[in-house]
Structure 1
Amino acid sequence: MNFPDGNGHVDAASLPGGQAFAKLSQKYRHYLDKTTPHVAPRWVALALVVLVYAVRAYLLHGFYIITYALGIYNLNLLLGFLTPQVDPELEGPTLPSQREDEFRPFVRRLPEFKFWYSAIKAVVIGFVITFFPIFDVPVFWPILLLYWFVLFFVTMKRQIKHMIKYRYLPFTLGKKSYKGGGKGGKGAGASK
């Protein structure tokens, strides 16, 4: 009999079929980790999965509630991606506010890889749900679409105002290097 450890967890490998699940999980994680440096192909894959989902929903003329839920979920992910990890409204400004402040890169509340991974998982789950007619709830889709656009524009307006107020961009372009007319026409930090 398997008893949980002190934290209440049971070793998955000791359960029936657990070793196979652990091995499969490890292999899945290995292939997922291999995609980490390939940013553009991952986002292209997400775009293709979204396109396949959209074509399926269009051809079925249904699953508007599922599509709306995907839109709301992905909007929430986008907000986490655009928001700093430390909110200056709650914890004070940690981003440089003066030209003399030291460079600190933008740290997101939701990192890019987790954003992509959560979005692709959601769309794949939504795609699988389209095979179950019980989830095809009849609704008047133009109202859902209008409400989603209103929600998107109000949310983005608030986010952009927040970005302007605390002077940050959600994209780190790196520290600026200045080249100028120091002694001999070279900048003070130029290498020889």
Structure 2
Amino acid sequence: MMDPSSSSSSAATATSIGGDGSGGGGIPFVSAWMAVISQRYQHVLDKSTPHVLRRWLGFAIVALIYIIRVATIEGFYVVSYALGIYVLNLFIAFLSPQVDPEIQGLVDGEGPTLPTKSSDEFRPFVRRLPEFKFWYSITKAFCIAFILTFFDAFDVPVFWPILVFYWFVLFVATMKRQILHMIKYKYVPFSTGKQRYGKKPASTQDASL
């Protein structure tokens, strides 16, 4: 026969684990709560997509707050250097085409199909990193760097003019390579001109007069 005490202890264990469905309700609640927050956050991002000027003004405020923070405490130069390298990589991706014309020319043998200044056909420039993702990534990077300034473990002592010099040299070399790439394949990293639909028929123009 089964010992009644062991049966009661087994039932108590099952109840504590959540066998009746009440003990394990915490995890589904947290998951649902996080899902709601994620949906609302994504909704706010979607609504901010067309407001380009306001988004970049918000980023300017975030960047200014970070600069004031670093200048006030006079530290965290390594964090700022890493932030500068990351921003430079984002900027190069923002200026680069989605498909490298050199690779595209080797694959199809037709050469680059990027919009050029001499092209009469309107073709929008497709970036490797779209404008919205560029703004979102750079804003998030500044926010993370700002949070890191509250932890002394990231305040590595370093002679900051050397970091500034290294970053400036890297910026000049990277931009020089990017500009030479633009000149070589004769493309501009912006959508210039406007779409043309052709001239109106002569009868339509006379009727409008």
Q: 1:156 to 1:168 in 2, by over 3 A?
A: same
TM-score by length of 1: 0.82
Q: Work out which of the residue numbers 20, 42, 47 in structure 1 matches 2:60.
A: 47
Partner of 1:17: helix, strand, or coil?
A: helix
Preserved CA contact (<8 Å) 1:84 1:108: yes
2:43 is the alignment partner of 1:24? no
How much has 1:105 moved relative to structure 2? 1.4
Preserved CA contact (<8 Å) 2:115 2:122: yes
| Partner Cα distance (2:136, 2:156) in 1 | 27
Q: Which amino acid aligns with 2:169?
A: V
Q: 1:96 to 1:43 in 2, by over 3 A?
A: closer
Q: Which has the higher helix share?
A: 2
**TM alignment of 1:75-94, pairs within 5 A:** 75-92=88-105, 93-94=112-113
2:141 is the alignment partner of 1:128? no
Q: Which has the larger radius of gyration?
A: 2
**TM alignment of 1:1-20, pairs within 5 A:** 15-20=28-33
| Partner Cα distance (1:148, 1:138) in 2 | 17
1:172 corresponds in structure 2 to: 191
TM-score by length of 2: 0.76
After TM superposition, the structure 1 stretch with the greater mean CA deviation from structure 2, 44-53 or 94-103, is 94-103
- Count of residues in correspondence between the two structures: 171
How much has 1:175 moved relative to structure 2? 3.5
Preserved CA contact (<8 Å) 2:93 2:127: yes
CA deviations 1:14-38 (Å, max 9, x no partner) are 7441001000100011111111000
2:167 corresponds in structure 1 to: 148
Q: Work out which of the residue numbers 136, 146, 158 in structure 2 matches 1:117.
A: 136
| Partner Cα distance (2:102, 2:188) in 1 | 16
2:69 is the alignment partner of 1:56? yes
Q: Which amino acid aligns with 1:141?
A: W
Instruction: Give the root-mean-square deviation of aligned CA atoms.
Output: 2.2
CA deviations 1:15-63 (Å, max 9, x no partner) are 4410010001000111111110000111111111111000000101000
Gaps of 5+ in 1: 1-13, 179-187
| Partner Cα distance (2:41, 2:56) in 1 | 19
| Partner Cα distance (2:116, 2:131) in 1 | 24
CA deviations 1:142-161 (Å, max 9, x no partner) are 00000000000110011011
| Partner Cα distance (2:115, 2:136) in 1 | 30
| Partner Cα distance (1:156, 1:98) in 2 | 20
| Partner Cα distance (2:75, 2:130) in 1 | 33
Partner of 1:105: helix, strand, or coil?
A: coil
| Partner Cα distance (1:49, 1:98) in 2 | 36
After TM superposition, the structure 1 stretch with the greater mean CA deviation from structure 2, 169-178 or 107-116, is 169-178
Q: 1:100 to 1:119 in 2, by over 3 A?
A: closer
| Partner Cα distance (1:112, 1:60) in 2 | 32
2:17 corresponds in structure 1 to: none
| Partner Cα distance (1:103, 1:22) in 2 | 42
